[in-house]
Amino acid sequence: MKICPHCGTTTKDDSQVYCLMDGTPLVDSSVSEPTAVMPETERTVTAQRVRKSGTGLWIVLGFVGVLFIGSLIGLLMYAAYRMGTESASVKVNTNTNSSPTPKPTTPKPTPQSSPSVASSQQPSPESSPATTTSSSDEPTPISWSTNAAFVREENGLTYTFECPPGGTPGTVWGSDAYTADSSICTAAVHAGKITLENGGVVTIEFTAGRQTYGATTRNGITTYNYGQYPHSMIFK
């Protein structure tokens, strides 16, 4: 039996030499097995499937790459935000620490029980008034840093002081009723009794201490809050 190697047509006529379909020389089927030829359409479909598979792989890889880059950018932005927030917090704390700090809200010992504290609050010897132990109507010259710690702090006692002109504000705690260790002249400006430019004569009276002292701004002077203090002073 003979077979056409091109179209696969077989014939039992051993005398036939050429294929009647396409003229291709016939071969003996017992000598050579016909070669299977893949149709062109199958080869095309197979190639298209390979290309599609490769394209899908690249799409998946591209999507994963975009997710990775997006996550990296997000982490960098978050780190920058945290650094900016911490920097701003440090600046706020620095500004807060550099501002004037009011006195603590815990009671302080009276000047009589802490001589060293009382002496540190007194002005320099050149401007210090003589120590007073009782009420007096005669004005005693004092400086703008002088407080009432050098006199006897007893409820009902009154003292008259003279503040020099051209004053520099000191520290004051309270409003209307002031802690006895506040600057006398500065508290008098806050109370509207004198001015920084002109100074003047003021009279204070000791009253009972308070549980708390409020802060206000008056006549260009800003006072501070304070807690409990054993003695207060008011202006007559």
pLDDT per residue as tens digits for the range 33-74: 545 555 555 566 566 665 666 777 888 888 898 999 988 998
Name the region of 40 (left: φ>0; alpha: ψ -120 to 50; beta: rest): alpha
23-32, 84-93, 215-224: least confident range: 84-93
Domain definitions of the chain by residue range: 115-235
Confidence at 20, pLDDT banded by 50, 70, 90? confident
Higher pLDDT pick, 132 / 17: 17
The CATH T-level fold of domain 115-235 is: Ferric Hydroxamate Uptake Protein; Chain A, domain 1 (2.170.130)
Place of tokens 């207060």: 232
Average pLDDT, the chain: 77
pLDDT reported for residue 117: 34
**Residue 106 pLDDT > 60, yes or no?**
no
pLDDT reported for residue 69: 93
The kind and range of the H/E element at 72 are: helix 40-98
Contact 135, 128 (CB under 8 A): no
- Specify the pairing of strand 136-141 against strand 158-163: parallel
Rg (CA), the chain: 52
pLDDT reported for residue 58: 84
pLDDT reported for residue 190: 97
Which residues, including other chains, have CB under 8 Å from residue 179's CB and lie 6 or more apart?
103, 173, 213, 226, 229, 231, 232, 233
What's the CA gap between 35 and 218, in Å, rounded? 113
pLDDT reported for residue 104: 46
Q: Residue 37: how many CA atoms within 13 Å on its side-chain side?
A: 8
pLDDT reported for residue 6: 84
Q: What is the mean pLDDT of residues 94-115?
A: 42
157-175: burial string, b at 16+ Cβ within 10 Å, e else: bebebbbeeebebbbbbbb
Maximal CA-CA distance, the chain: 159
In percent, the amount of the chain with pLDDT more than 90 equals 40
12-16, 139-143, 151-155: least confident range: 12-16
Angle CA 83–89–90, to nearest 5: 90
Q: What is the mean pLDDT of residues 186-209?
A: 96
Which amino acid, one-letter code, is at 139?
A: P
Indicate whether this model's pTM tops 0.75. no
pLDDT reported for residue 22: 82
For residue 172, the SS3 value is: coil
Strand 174-175: give its sheet, edge to edge. 136-141, 158-163, 200-210, 229-235, 177-179, 174-175
Condensed to tens digits (0 to 9), the pLDDT of residues 180-193 reads 999 999 999 999 99
Measured distance between the N- and C-terminal CA atoms of the chain, rounded to whole angstroms: 143
pLDDT reported for residue 19: 83
What's the CA gap between 176 and 198, in Å, rounded? 21
